[in-house]
Structure formats: C-alpha cells, structure tokens
Structure 1
Amino acid sequence: MLEWYDFAIFGFLAPTMSPLFFPDDDPVVALIQTYGIFAAGYLMRPLGGIVFGHIADRIGRTQALRWSIAMMAVPTVLVGLLPTHANIGASAAALLILLRLVQGVSVGGELIASITFLVEAAPDNRRGLHGSWALFGAVSGILLGSAVVSLVEAFIDPQAMSDYGWRIPFLLGLVIFLMGRWLRSILAVESPKGGGVQELPLKRVLTQHLGSVLHLILCMLLYAAAFYVLFVWMPTYLSKIIPTPVSHAMAVNTLSTVFLVLLLPVAGWLGDRFGLRTILLLGIALLGLVAYPLFVWLDTGSLVAALVSGLVFALLVSWVQGPMPALLAQTFPSDIRNTGVGIAYNAALGLFGGTAPMVCTWLISRTGDIAAPAYYLAALAAVSFVALSTLRLAGHD
C-alpha cells in the first residue's frame, strides 16, 4: 500500500507538473512528455522484479518486502524537493527521470513478494481471496494518493498548486516511509516456500520457463493497461479533454477507486467459488465490450455519466484483477515463483501499464477521437482473452 501511494501520485499530478518541467508551447505535448516519465518508471519494473525476485527466492519473501520500501521513499521525497525548469533548466527533467527510474525498481519487487507470500500461506480453497489482498493493499495506496491530491487541490488555488502545492503529496512520502518501516519491522513471519534456493532463479526461469513468461505477459495486457487508463489517467481525461472541473474529476476518481478496493476481495472470492480463469475471462470480455459505449457517454460531460461509468469500470476491473494473483502463483514452481511471476508481471506492467496514459493521450491527439482509448482497451482485451484461455498452469485451476 505504502509504496503505491508514492508511485501513483506522480500520475495524478502530471497535469500540474507538466508545464513546470516541460514548458512546451503545446500543453498536450508537455503532458505526453510528463506521462513519458511516468512510463519510464514502469519500464524499470522488470529490473526490480529480477532483483527483488532473486532476494525473495534465495533469502526470503519478507526480506524483499522490508528492503523495497526504503528504495521507494527516498526518491519520492526528493521529487518533492526538486527545482523546476525555471530554476535549473533541462536538468530538472533529467533529475526527475532519474528519481522516477529508482522508484520503478522498488515497485517492481514489492507487489510480487506480497502476492507470493499471501498465496503460499493460503488454504487451497482460499488462494483467490488471499491473493486479492495484495491488490487490495496496492490499490488502497493509490486511493490514498488520489485522496491526498484531491484534498490538496480542494484547499489550494490553481496558482498556489503550481507554485508549491504539488510538492506536498511527495513530501508526505516521508511520513509514509516511517509508517512502512514500522510495519515491516513487525512482519516476522516468512512463507515456508520462500528463500533457500541455491541456484540462480533467473537462469532457471529463462532457460526452462521462458514460454510461460511470454504467455503470461499476453494474458496480462488488459490487466496492465485497464487500471492505469481508468483510474490513474481518467482524472486527466475528464479535466483536460472532456472537460470537467478538476475537483469533480478527482472526486469521481476517488469514489470509483474506493468501489474497486472493496470489490477486489469479492472478485478473489468469486474466483475461488467459480474458478479463477472463469471470472477473469468474464471480466476481460465484458470490459472489452463496454469500454466504447462508456467512453462515448463520458463525452457528454455529464457528472452522472462520469460517476456511473467509473463504478461500472470498477466492477469489471475488479474481475480482471482480483483473481489474477492466485492464478499467477500457479504458473511457476514455488522455488522460482517470485522470479518468474516478477519478470512476467513487471514486463506486462512496464510495457502496457505505465505507458497506457501516454499512449491514450497520444491516440486522442493524433486521431481527434476522444473514444480512442476504448479501441486500445478492446484490442488488448481480445489478446488477453485468447492467451488466458490457453494458459497452462503448474498447479490446479
């Protein structure tokens, strides 16, 4: 939860930060450049998955969890202290990119260690529910970021937000770090399947399970993109493209994210009850089908349309995501699970998750069609549906 607060606030603050670090005459170009930095952090996730996966498989899941938060907190606070382009020119953007890359390595290891820890500790008939708690924590962190940004924007006028207000959520990362250190210090239970591997897990994954890694990436295309389009980029879409007042856009996004957080464990439980693959396929199919009509409805600028669409997206994304951790854990043997899942998961999130806001902004700017993101989601849904239908599992389904 704590790492994801730090990582997500960058996405929510992109419209405010873009002219401060990329003072381009075209605000759309500046926004695309800022989302490019957002994506850069995600492109470092595979490296984080390899590094922390190695730690988790050879030393232990909890050790990987403890080490990840410090690697996130320091660059987050430093972002809040960065001078802007007006102060140091292009060096500001270069420093922002560097700090974002360090954040990406941290996030690439934290969630995977949580997933494997929770699923391995769960009874066989509760793996879907237990695995969904990892996503519950991650999305709760993003929800916290959305709420903090919403509160800051509600109490600070736009000029003050541009002058100093954008720094506040980043500097609060220090408080988050201290909380995380305390929580990690009391986390003393280790998964019985974590640690103790003598050979290099990465070598075994790449030589014996590369096909599974590539197949799993295809399964996760919609999983990776949907959340970042519909819950991280959506406030920018509503406020800059529709347009809707920023405060309304953030409020709708926060409420929709609350709904998603509450539904994720329900979706995990449904996966245990009716089959993980069944619920995932149903969610993928429905989300691919309803994306276009909901985006067309959003174009009306109606607050009701934004709210109802957000709630529908939350329901379907919970089905696409909630059962996924348990299914991921069944794709690789336990002794290389953290490394295998980490490479596949972070490659999918790096290539199709973190880049999604940039891709959607670019699609709209090139086509002039504000429903273009729906076509992108539908295409990813089609690929994910076919790939998931043919995925072979190491464990039971």
Structure 2
Amino acid sequence: MDYSATPQPAGTDTLNLADASSMQPAKRTSHAKAIAAITLGNGLEFFDFTIYSFFATIIGKLYFPVEGQLAQLMLAAGTFGVGFIMRPVGGIILGAYADRAGRKAAMSLTLWMMTLGSAIIAFAPTYAAIGIAAPMLIILARLIQGFALGGEVGASTSLLLEYGSDKTRGFYGSWQFVSQGLNTVCGSLLGVALAAGLSTAALESWGWRVPFVIGMAMGPIGIYIRRHLNETLPGVEDGTVSAAQAPDAQPVRKLFREHSRVITTGVLTTIGGTAANYIVLFYLSTYAIRILHLPMSSALWAAWTAAIVTVICSPIAGSLSDRVGRKRVLWISRVMLIVAVYPAFMIINASPTVPVLLSVVAVLAVFVAFTAVPNIVMLPELFPRKIRATGMSIVYCLGVSIFGGFAQFFATWLIQISGSNLAPAWYLIGCGVVSLLPLPFMRETAGKAID
C-alpha cells in the first residue's frame, strides 16, 4: 500500500494542464493518506510520553514515598519534566540526522526509542520492591523518551509542511497539534475507563501500567505505517542529488552561525504556547484531583475535553493562518488567552464542580489551539529545507524543555510557596507576555515560498 505520492516542493500549486484532470484527485487522496500516516505515528509517540502525566499521582505514591501528597506530586511532576531536559539534546542529534539521512529514517528511530522508554516504565518494580533503583528507572525511561521526542517533532513537522504548498502549509502543519490532541483523547479515555472499572487497589497495583504496555506494543505499528511515506529530503532515497540539494554535512554549526537571531526569537515565542498547552491539556486534570479534590475518574474528563476541542479547532486555526497570516492569529489568540486565564482559575476554584471545570477547560482549549498551531507551523518555515528539521527541533525543544516540561512542577511549586490556588494562572500570564515580545521582529511566512 502506498500512503503518499511524491510531494511537491512548497509553492508548486499548478500541474501540467494535460494531466491535471487525471492527476489531481489521486494527488489529494495520497496526500490525505500521508497526513494520516504522519499524524498517527506522531500520536503514538505522544501517547507514550504524555500518559505519564495522567497517572502522576499514583506514580508519585509508588515511586517517591516522601511525606505529603503535594511533595509526592511535585517529585512525580519533576520526573515528568526530566524527560524534557533531553529534548534539546535529542533535537540537535536526531534533527541533524533527519537533515542528513531523511525524515523517515529519523522518525523510525524515535519510535523505537519511545517503545523502549514505555517498556521500562511498564515493568519497573516499585520503591517498595527495589528501593532507590525504582525512581532511577523511571527517570531513565523519561530521559530516553525525551531524547526521542526531541527529534520526532522537528522531523514530523518538517515532513508535514513539505507535503503542503505555499497556500496550505498552515493546514498541513496543524495536524502536528491534532496528533497531540488525539493521543490525549485516547489516553484520557483509557485513564477514565481504568479508574472507573478498577478498584483503587487494582489501579495502584497494576492498572496504571496498562497504558504503557499498550504504547509499547503500538510502536511497531507506527513504524510499519510510516515506511510507506515518501521522503521529502531530495536524493535520500534514490541517491540522485545535485550539489545544491545535497544535505548539509554540519547542519548544527550552520544553524547557530547563520540563524542565531531566528533561534532566539523562535524560542521566546514558543514559551507562551507550550506553557498554555501543558497546563490546560495535562496539568488541569491533576490540579482537579489534588487541589479541587474532584474524583480521578471525573477530573480526567478535563483532559479529554481539552483534547477534543484542540482536535476540532487546530485545522481551523491552521487554515485561518494560511488566509490572514500566522502572526495575526497568534497575536490575537495569545492576548485573549492571557486575559482569560486568571478569571478561569477563579471560576473553577469558586465552583469546583465537574461541569464548571469542563466548561472552563473547553474555552481555554480554544485559545490554546489558535495560539499553538500558527506558532508550531511558523517555526520550521523560518529555516531552509537542508537544516529545517534541525532548526525546528532545537527551537521547539529549547522552548518546551523548561517552560512546558516543568510547567506542572512550577505550577505546583507556586501553589505551595504562595498558598494560592490561583498561582498557575500567574505562570501562564508571565509566559504569555514574554512570548509576545519578539513577535514584531519575526517575518510573516504565510503564503510565501520557503524553498
């Protein structure tokens, strides 16, 4: 089965007039299959990586036996963030590999590494069984997964954009964020089913391991699906490449030497979107359990609601950014998010019920989709094809590593030192304001040739 036709370079919207009638329908169909293949593989990796956050409270109890539930949650959330430390390293190494060996080769490698990380978590003995070695195994698994995702995002997002044209890159790139939402839907539904169907003892004994076993088993499926994609880096698969198209031998050195300004502005812009993404999509379910004292089975619906909203809104946000520009969509939606987040936290604390929580999460998720999609689409557009995966990986991972990966830790820590349940809102507002500062200095990429 062939999942994709040979992709056109960005900006080539026209076909030979003699063949247009016969080729155009097949081209649309094959590109739709290509998007599905890239999205599914990426979703499998994020399923493995983010399911950890849904069971952070249980993992904290089993692997970090310190006094106090809040302290356990901070250690579990901190371990979640440890995986993000390796993202820039993975972004540099695997991003450079994607720019030399091709997008497909890099994405297959990252899937194997994610499978390994999930297997370690799925079968790691608890602290009661092996002592300090137990949390060390969890940390090792998170480091492996973080390294893998550091390269995955750059390679898969670059591939999505390179299948699009100057007029459709926003829509194509939006499926990167759709894949993250889809994995969250699957993860949260599975979490709800396990929490509702198992006793507390069974859930803490073996039930929480089930999602990691599933993620481990699905790795080979993603690899099989992706092997049918066509490569978009010229000359990688057929060996016919000109000197002008040849992959750069030192993409990292060239990136920092010639594009340092783009890296700086890209990282700063990413801070606001990634902080909002990880707080709204992942942290609010934990917040509902520990801070609002809602039942686990009910609170996990918050993650499901946020994911469904982002899945629906992301392609709309991508298409809108193709029409009116990435910067305009990003600016308006991020300002609206900054204005809305503090009242949102006030509302759910004043009325800590499931319907109120889900309503607030749904509204915030709309803003998150419209601010995150143009951001993640714009980043790879700022770099030429030969170093695009490396550039995208480094910029995105540097922004995500601290302000996204440790968002849950920072939010919990701020609650502890301030004594205010509204502290996570302060974190989002601060990150959002900082992320707007470099936007006027970034060039608009919508509708313009990038190669």
TM bucket, shorter chain = over 0.9
319-328 or 364-373, which deviates more: 319-328
Aligned mate of 2:305, from 255, 260, 276 = 255
Displacement of 1:257 in angstroms is 1.0
Find the partner of 1:69 among 87, 103, 111.
111
User: What do residues 250-309 of structure 1 show as CA deviations (whole Å, max 9, x unaligned)?
Assistant: 123212211111111110011111111100111110101100000000102122221111
Q: Aligned residue for 1:231?
A: 281
| 8 Å CA contact 1:58, 1:194 repeated in 2 | no
| CA–CA distance in structure 2, aligned partners of residues 252 and 212 of structure 1 | 35
* Aligned ranges 1:52-91 → 2 under 5 Å: 52-91=94-133
- Deviation string 1:12-50 (CA, Å, 9 cap, x unpaired) is 110111011111111111110111110010111111111
Alignment of 1:1-397 (within 5 A): 1-187=43-229, 189-192=230-233, 196-299=246-349, 300-392=351-443
C-alpha deviation, 1:194, in angstroms: 8.1
Query: Quick one: distance in 2 between partners of 1:393 and 1:197?
Result: 26
* C-alpha contact (below 8 Å) 1:61/1:194 kept by paired residues: no
1:335 to 1:185, Cα distance in 2 relative to 1, 3 A: closer
Structure 1 residues without counterparts, runs of 5 or longer: none
Q: Quick check: 2:267–2:395 contact (8 Å CA) kept in 1?
A: yes
Q: Secondary structure at the match of 2:438?
A: helix
What secondary structure is seen at the aligned counterpart in 1 of 2:222?
Answer: helix
For residue 203 of structure 1, report the CA deviation from its aligned partner: 0.5
What is the DSSP-based 3-state SS (H/G/I as helix, E as strand, rest coil) of the residue aligned with 2:167?
Answer: helix
Deviation at 1:394, TM superposition (A): 7.5
Cα RMSD between the aligned structures?
1.5
Deviation at 1:219, TM superposition (A): 0.5
For residues 35 and 234 of structure 1, the distance between their equivalents in structure 2, rounded to whole angstroms, comes to 13
Distance, in Å, in 1 between the alignment partners of 2:134 and 2:253 is 38
Provide the C-alpha distance between the structure 1 equivalents of 2:361 and 2:120, rounded to a whole number of angstroms. 33
Deviations 1:150-197 (CA, angstroms, capped at 9, x unpaired): 21111111121111111111111233113212212222x011458631
Letter in 1 for 2:91: G
Query: Per the alignment, do residues 379 and 297 of structure 1 end up closer, same or farther by CA in structure 2, a change over 3 Å counting?
Result: same
Deviations 1:311-365 (A, max 9, x none): 1011100111122233112211221111111111001110110000000011011
Letter in 2 for 1:227: N
Q: Please tell me the residue identity of whatever aligns with 2:180.
A: A
Distance 1:117 1:191 in 2: 7
Q: Counterparts of 1:181 and 1:120 in 2: how far apart (Å)?
A: 20
Cα deviation for residue 396 of structure 1 reads 6.1
How far apart, in 2, do the equivalents of 1:345 and 1:198 lie?
21
Cα distance between partner residues in 1 of 2:371 and 2:235: 27
In the superposition, relative to structure 1, how do residues 261 and 174 fare at CA in structure 2: closer, same or farther (>3 Å)?
same
Aligned equivalents of 2:222, 2:178: Cα separation in 1: 16
Distance 1:214 1:198 in 2: 22
User: Alignment partner of 1:125: what SS?
Assistant: coil
Alpha-carbon distance in 2 for matches of 1:281, 1:226: 14
Kindly indicate whether the alpha-carbon contact (under 8 Å) linking 2:271 and 2:435 is maintained by their aligned counterparts in 1.
yes
**Which has the larger Rg?**
2
Partner amino acid for 2:261? G
State the distance in 2 between where 1:198 and 1:240 align. 49
Q: Which amino acid aligns with 2:80?
A: F
Distance in 2 separating the partners of 1:99 and 1:267: 34
So what's the TM-score if we normalise by structure 2? Answer: 0.85
Secondary structure in 1 aligned to 2:65?
coil
Q: Distance in 1 between matches of 2:51 and 2:201?
A: 19
Please report how far the alpha carbon of residue 211 of structure 1 lies from its aligned counterpart in structure 2 after TM superposition: 2.0
Between the aligned partners of 2:409 and 2:134, the Cα distance in structure 1 is: 20
Contact 2:127/2:134 (8 A) holds in 1: yes
- Aligned pairs, how many? 396
- Extract unaligned runs of 5+ from structure 2: 1-42, 237-245
In 2, the alpha carbon distance for the partners of 1:116 and 1:92 equals 37
Measured in 2, the distance between the counterparts of 1:321 and 1:143 equals: 18
Q: Is the 8 A contact 2:326 2:444 kept in 1?
A: no
Question: Could you say what secondary structure the match of 2:158 adopts?
Answer: helix
**C-alpha contact (below 8 Å) 1:217/1:347 kept by paired residues:** yes
Higher mean C-alpha deviation, range 189-198 or range 67-76: 189-198
Distance 1:260 1:343 in 2: 24
CA distance in 1, matches of 2:393, 2:218: 24
Deviations 1:44-78 (A, max 9, x none): 11111111111111111111112110010112022
Distance 2:109 2:100 in 1: 14
**Contact 1:111 / 1:138 at 8 angstroms: preserved in 2?**
no
Give the direction of change, closer, same or farther, for the CA distance of 1:215–1:156 in structure 2 (3 Å limit): same
